[in-house]
Structure 1
Amino acid sequence: MASNIGMMDSAYFVGRNEILTWINNRLQLNLSRIEEAASGAVQCQMMDMTYPGVVPMHKVNFDARTEYDMIQNYKVLQDVLNKLKIEKHIEVNRLVKGRPLDNLEFLQWLKRYCDSVNGGIMNENYNPVERRSKGGKDRNSKGSQKTTKSLQANNMHNSASGDPVDLNKMSWPKQGRGSAVAGGATYSEEVQALSKEVTNLKLSVDHLEKERDFYFAKLRDIEILCQIPEMEDLPMTVAIKKILYAADAKESALEEAQEYLSEAINTVETEVESEA
């Protein structure tokens, strides 16, 4: 079953564009980046489409922006996987960070699993927009009721105490006009400086992630090349795989590969001399 597919499975060779097309076509969305699915709501609805009625859609928050709200979505998803006895642990802490590679790998797994259940055929009887709107209405309704009750309780408390809240009569710290203006200017400068720093940090992170994805893609290309049947047993290929599959970043991996390659070359030279 696709729930236990390994990292070398063909599922993990599916590109971002194909994953985004798969999501947008089935759920009638318009995602342009993998990280837009980091909230877990898309994954929940994909399972809802695959197993209609299994996912409590009223608990899924498609407007999740904070990590807390995203985690709640993934809790719903993990509960569904457990209920279906699908042995897949969700790395929530990594997914909610919105990192493209982490989310891509999980969506690649999800696509492979869903395709293994329905053969890659879309459920024509499933209305994704309607399912999302019903879930949203249920959630918003409950949230509105809770807010209304809270406001009513506060009003009753204020009436009972005989001390209604009047914002116009509340006491506020008094400041001179000059000091208020000076303080506001100082805070504005600090906010601008911090905003600029945050922007620079985001640009640096984006650059590092793009660079990481670039080199990861190259390593994957090398790995695929090394798996070609005609090449996988060649000394150079074996040496490269020793480096690729080393468990850590120690220099011993390179030394081991060089030693192996040297021995292989010496063996070939010896065989050639003996034949001569």
Structure 2
Amino acid sequence: MATNIGIMDSAYFVGRNELLTWINDRLQLNLSRVEEAASGAVQCQMLDMTFPGVVPMHKVNFDAKNEYEMIQNYKVLQDVFNKLKVTKPLEINRLVKGRPLDNLEFLQWLKRFCDSINGGIMNENYNPVERRTKGGKERSVKGSIKISKSLQTNNNHPPAISSSVGLSKASGPKTAKAAEVVQALMKEVTDLKLSVDLLEKERDFYFSKLRDVEILCQTPELEDTPIVGAVKKILYATDANESALEDAQEYLSQSLGVEAEEEEEEEEDGEQQQEEEKTQA
């Protein structure tokens, strides 16, 4: 069971689209952003599918919108972690803020964890919609409402922008203005996609640097040196607090201090031995 997953694990290279597809396919949802899972309900149900009977689904609030409601979901999740002896720390105060990166990293970990159970094979008998139902009343996560077939058909064949622009002359200024708004929005979406691509490339660049450092630290000749030990403390820190650097500095100081004391003792022993030899001579 993969509970402790280092920052260099391949899990943290899984993209947003793959995560959303994984969640939507398994739980029959329609999430479009990872931060929509900030309430903790999705995470609870993923574990409910992976470990049947462990999650008290009647305590999970799929309509949670306020932070105090989301915190209750994460308390349920924490109880499940305790039952399963999962040591992954839950940074609830950060997750409930809905920040994309925090939720992305947690979902990346969750996917890696679930995939490690039974090879990630889905439980075919699991009915996610039914499990979200209580007392005959369907509760839904944001974006989880099923789209009707007619709407799906329409969404699969959206009107082309060129057609709306062509109609602008015949339909008047309102249609022309609407077409301009659509074009502006499409340009904004394109710009955002480019920004995301650049950010992902930058992320991959720095991850590769960290991976190089990790491989260097695993060199047999260097692995047991104090400086490598200090670097490992930073690389393998399990939370995002600021104490990792301080811990590493303290470890390095202590290690170097011990080495200095050992060297002094060796020098003193050597001098004492020399004096004894002179005395004997």
TM-score, normalised relative to structure 1: 0.54
AA paired with 1:55? V
Paired positions, count: 168
For residues 68 and 27 of structure 2, the distance between their equivalents in structure 1, rounded to whole angstroms, comes to 24
Name 2:208's counterpart in structure 1: 224
For residues 85 and 8 of structure 2, the distance between their equivalents in structure 1, rounded to whole angstroms, comes to 23
For residues 135 and 117 of structure 1, the distance between their equivalents in structure 2, rounded to whole angstroms, comes to 31
**Among the aligned pairs, what percent are the same residue?**
72
Alpha-carbon displacement from aligned partner over 1:64-85 (angstroms, at most 9, x marks no partner) = 0000000000000000010111
Compute the displacement of 1:5 (Å): 0.7
- Cα contact 1:54–1:80 (8 A) shared by 2: yes
Name 1:19's counterpart in structure 2: 19
For residues 113 and 203 of structure 2, the distance between their equivalents in structure 1, rounded to whole angstroms, comes to 25
Compute the displacement of 1:138 (Å): 10
For residues 136 and 90 of structure 1, the distance between their equivalents in structure 2, rounded to whole angstroms, comes to 32
Distance 1:79 1:120, change over 3 A: same
Name 1:104's counterpart in structure 2: 104
Uncovered stretches (5+) of structure 1, i.e. residues with no partner: 140-206, 234-241, 249-276
- Asked if 1:130 corresponds to 2:130, the answer is yes
Alpha-carbon displacement from aligned partner over 1:245-275 (angstroms, at most 9, x marks no partner) = 7x77xxxxxxxxxxxxxxxxxxxxxxxxxxx
Distance 1:219 1:126, change over 3 A: closer
Secondary structure at the counterpart of residue 3 of structure 1: coil
1:59-138 correspondence runs (5 A): 59-134=59-134, 137=137
AA paired with 1:223? F
Name 2:57's counterpart in structure 1: 57
Compute the displacement of 1:86 (Å): 1.0
1:144-223 correspondence runs (5 A): 214-215=198-199, 217-223=201-207
AA paired with 1:10? S
Name 2:7's counterpart in structure 1: 7
For residues 86 and 135 of structure 2, the distance between their equivalents in structure 1, rounded to whole angstroms, comes to 24
Compute the displacement of 1:136 (Å): 7.9
For residues 102 and 136 of structure 1, the distance between their equivalents in structure 2, rounded to whole angstroms, comes to 34
Secondary structure at the counterpart of residue 44 of structure 1: helix
AA paired with 1:42? V
19-28 or 1-10: bigger deviation = 1-10
TM-score, normalised relative to structure 2: 0.53
Compute the displacement of 1:227 (Å): 4.3
Distance 1:214 1:130, change over 3 A: same
Distance 1:108 1:136, change over 3 A: farther
For residues 226 and 117 of structure 1, the distance between their equivalents in structure 2, rounded to whole angstroms, comes to 28
- Cα contact 2:50–2:117 (8 A) shared by 1: yes
The RMSD of aligned alpha carbons is: 3.3
AA paired with 1:67? E
- Cα contact 2:47–2:55 (8 A) shared by 1: yes
For residues 58 and 209 of structure 2, the distance between their equivalents in structure 1, rounded to whole angstroms, comes to 47
For residues 95 and 120 of structure 1, the distance between their equivalents in structure 2, rounded to whole angstroms, comes to 24
Distance 1:114 1:67, change over 3 A: same
Structure with the larger RCO, 1 or 2 (CA within 8 Å, 6+ apart): 2
Uncovered stretches (5+) of structure 2, i.e. residues with no partner: 140-190, 218-230, 236-243, 246-281
For residues 116 and 90 of structure 1, the distance between their equivalents in structure 2, rounded to whole angstroms, comes to 19
Compute the displacement of 1:135 (Å): 7.4
- Cα contact 2:27–2:129 (8 A) shared by 1: yes
Compute the displacement of 1:134 (Å): 2.6
